[in-house]
A and B are shown apart, each in its own frame.
Chain A
Amino acid sequence: MTALDTIRARILGGLALLGCTVVLMALFSAYALRTIRRSETEQLDAVQRSGEVSNGVVTSVFRQINAGQQYLTAPTRELRDQFQDAADESFEFSRQLDRLPGLTLEQHLTVNRIKQLEASITADYSIAHALRDLGRDDAARVQSIAVLRPAADLTRLVRTFTAELAKHTRRAEQQLAVATARWEVYLYLALVIAVIATALAGYWTLQSVEGPLGRVVLAAERFGSGDLRPVTTGHMPRDIQVLADAMRHMGDRLRAIVANVISESDRIASSATDMSAISEQLAASSSEVSTAMVDISHGAEEQRVELITIGTSLDALRLATTQTAEAAERVARLGEEIRTVADRHQGSMAAASSVLLDVREVVQTTSKQVSELAKQVAAIDDFVDLIRRISSQTNLLALNAAIEAARAGEHGRGFAVVAEEVRQLADESARAAEDVTLTTNAIRDQVEDVTATMAAGTAKVRGIEDVAGGAARGLAEIAAAVEQVEQSATTVARAAQQYRDITERLQQQAQQVASRAVAHASSAQQVTAAAQEQGASTQEMAAAAAHLLQAAEQLRGLVKEFRV
């Protein structure tokens, strides 16, 4: 089929087949007509010739007889030549009878008889003429009379032969009619065959053109209905093959594109899902930051409260310090009174003893107060520790906040600054606490000194008691001791003053810390607000992701209508 590999070639082939059929039909018709005409012509020729020859035989024989008879009555050279010519002619005609086509054996025998009769007539007349020439007229007449019978026979035979020929001709005509009828049947058969051949050729052409086209159209319809699976169009004519190839190529391209879209929409959907998850995470993070900020804020509040508590404690401390100072002043005053009393009641031992007892009592009371002071200082230590822990925690929180802010990106930038501030504040708080610790340690040292002094004072008072008997010396020693007490009290008063100053300063710092903590809290609230804002953005983002996901799903749904 390579030769008929194009629609054009197939159509041409079909047309050629049709043309061939028509030409063959025409040739066959022409052949049939020619055959009929030829046999007709042959028949006519045969009839004509047999008629001519038969007539020729009879005519020439009669001419011969005529000339022969005339010669017998008047022998002339002319008549003799006439007779000779007629004889030759009749001989020729009788021989031609033999050559007529389609003679039966019977007719052959008739012809032979005619030939014999003709020859015999010629010979008889020739002999009669010879006799006439020889002057034997009677013999010549007898001889000529003998001719009459063969002449009559010949005429009869020729007539019979002609009738036979006519019969033969009629038979031939019948045969011709039969042959013509047969040719007519052949022609009809040929016509039927030609019609069938034409129909087949047409059908074949139509099939071979329509088939490939139909397959291509089917493929196109499948593409149109969204079925993009590869189509097999089978063997195609070359020109349609181009179309089929284009179709297949288009299918391949569409299939690739749709597959691409599907995978892309899958990817978008999965990205949207991821994004949704991330925004959820982000929301959770913001929420955490928010919570952390609330915690920070809460912590700052707590810090402030704690600092207020510290302030209160410091007030108490200052009160205690004031009391210490007052006690020291009282000690000084008592020392003065002692000295006055000693001065005035140097000898009065009894009075002195009672005074000593008071002194011991006062010293003991003082000692107790100092111990109390020490305890207070320890409380300060505890507070400082608390502050340190708070600032450490704040620092940690600030650090976390900074990290979260960094994670929050642009939104967290303001918060990062705040976190840094908080961290610095926490550092400062830590440093202040450190200072308080140092001061407190100094106070502790002083208190220990006072305690030791008090112990020594107590021991000395005990010694006074021990030397209860001795007055002068005792009093002098008392006076001296009072002097020392006075000095010590002054020192204590000074130390107390100093301590009070420190405490005041501490109080001021605590207030400062408190106000900072308040600021810190407000910053934390800002951070919370920012985090909440961020949370809102994240929700928007989640909503957008959901939209995206929905769009991707829709896209995927649309694309799924294509079968690939």
Chain B
Amino acid sequence: MQHGAQLAVDQINARGGVRGRRLVLRLADDSGSEDVAVIVAQALYDNPAVAGVVGHLTSDASIVAAQVYGGGAHPVTMVSPSASSPDLSGISPYAFRICPSDSSHGAAMAKFAWQTLVARRAGILFIGDAYGYGIRKTFAADFTRLGGTVVEADPYVPTTRSLEPYLSRMRQAGIDVLLLAADRRGAELALRQMQDLGIRPPVIGGDALAGIETAGTLAEGMWISSAYLPDRAGEKNAAFVADYMRAYSGERPDHRGASAYDVVNLFARAIAAVGPNRRAVRGYIARVGRGVPAFDGVTGGIVFDDAGDVPSKGVVIAIVRGGHLVAEPGE
């Protein structure tokens, strides 16, 4: 995410900045913690030079930070590249995101499992937080609605040492698909223990697993829902990916980097149009696609709804092949 944002800032400043002024990227680390996020958000809020916030990365941090940014006398706009919790929708007039919400991911994955994988019995492993519960709920609802059966939905916490009992029970019960509404650590643990158990049903993971493709053969062949893929079609994306790889020694951008890149460019366009005033920037961003032209980013077209979401933005289910996330032909 930082890489994507920095690349955008550098490119903009190389072009002469915005309104003749250089764009400066101030970095703040919330460590994915709500507690830290509140403090970081307050610091950014209190800095009058901040015209907009690119972030936060995670749902829980974004939810608490949104309440800080949207309050007081000088609210500042935040545009999250990747916070997908449905709880973020409409939480504040100053909170936006350019990624689809968990409900989109859950629905997309349920449909993929039912149609593409022709799965009828699903097992779910989910992390006991907002993200895990969100994906679990939407997937289970849609999969059940399509006609499938959720055989079991098993929670875990970061301290959970073994998922083997769940996996063994799933093997016993028999499942067609395993949904990993999990963080990367939990997902890797599950994949590893599945390997140990010798079971290998089709596995689908949420966008939180982005990056797991680099974990060697473990993730090979698993499906991951994502709002963005580096091999997404379009010149603009191709140029972005090339620039990104050139800038960061061959590293391929994930959906977080691409979204951060888009958010920075979106802010640059807003500031170029209405200046750095926080309210003006908010007014511009809220009207993107509804009064001012839609923003055509590397992650796709961006049009906000009243809740600050991008309902038009779709989710693609990609497969891990050879350490890369690639769009399955036909998807």
Contacts and interface: CB of A to CB of B under 8 A. Distances in A.
Interface of A: 84, 87-88, 91, 95, 98, 105, 108-109, 112, 115-116, 118-120, 122-123, 126-127, 130-131, 133-134, 136, 139
Contacts of B10: none
B155 interface: yes
Given A87-B155, A108-B35, A112-B35, A122 B128 contact: yes
B120 to A, nearest CB: 19
A426 B172 CA distance: 193
B160 A127 contact: yes
Contact of A119 (B154, B157, B165): B157
Nearest to B136: A88
In the complex, which range does the number of interface residues on chain B fall in? 20 to 34
24 contacts: A87-B155, A91-B128, A105-B35, A108-B35, A112-B34, A112-B35, A119-B128, A119-B129, A120-B128, A120-B159, A122-B128, A123-B160, A126-B154, A126-B155, A126-B156, A127-B160, A127-B165, A127-B166, A130-B154, A130-B168, A130-B169, A133-B169, A133-B172, A134-B168
B166 A130 contact: yes
Contacts of A115: 129
Interface of B: 34-35, 38, 128-130, 133, 153-157, 159-160, 162, 165-166, 168-169, 172
Majority DSSP secondary structure for residues of A touching B: helix
Contacts of A119: 128-129, 155, 157
Nearest to B171: A134
A107 to B, nearest CB: 11
Given A123-B128, A134-B165, A108 B34 contact: yes
Given A91-B133, A127-B165, A134-B165, A120 B35 contact: no
B155 A122 contact: yes
Nearest to A108: B35
Most buried by B among A105, A109, A134: A134
Contacts of A112: 34-35
Most buried by A among B34, B153, B165: B165
B165 A98 contact: no
B80 to A, nearest CB: 18
Contacts of B162: 127
Contacts of B156: 123, 126
Contacts of A116: 157
A134 B168 CA distance: 8
Contacts of A98: 34
Given A87-B155, A108-B34, A120-B157, A134 B129 contact: no
Contacts of B157: 116, 119-120, 123
A348 B140 CA distance: 236
B59 to A, nearest CB: 12
Nearest to A98: B34
A554 to B, nearest CB: 90
3 pairs of A and B residues whose beta carbons are closest in the complex: A119-B128, A130-B165, A130-B169
Given A87-B155, A126-B155, A127-B165, 10 more contacts: A109-B35, A112-B34, A119-B155, A120-B159, A120-B160, A123-B160, A126-B154, A127-B160, A131-B165, A134-B165
Contacts, number: 56
Nearest to A91: B133
A105 B38 CA distance: 9
Contacts of A122: 128, 155
A98 B38 CA distance: 13
Nearest to B137: A88
Contacts of A136: 165
Contacts of B160: 120, 123, 127
Contacts of A87: 155
Contact of A134 (B35, B38, B169): B169
A75 to B, nearest CB: 11
A81 to B, nearest CB: 12
A130 B169 CA distance: 6
B155 A123 contact: yes
Nearest to A143: B165
A127 B168 CA distance: 11
A95 B128 CA distance: 11
Most buried by B among A112, A127, A136: A127
A88 B153 CA distance: 12
Contacts of B35: 105, 108-109, 112
Most buried by A among B129, B130, B157, B169: B157
A136 B172 CA distance: 14
A136 B162 CA distance: 15
Contacts of B133: 88, 91
A123 to B, nearest CB: 5
Nearest to A80: B152
Contacts of B165: 127, 130-131, 134, 136, 139
A95 B130 contact: yes
B263 to A, nearest CB: 26
A136 B168 CA distance: 11
Contacts of B38: 105, 108
A88 B168 CA distance: 23
A541 to B, nearest CB: 107
B292 to A, nearest CB: 34
A123 B156 CA distance: 5
Contacts of B153: 84
B181 to A, nearest CB: 13
Contacts of A133: 169, 172
Nearest to A140: B165
A475 B165 CA distance: 245
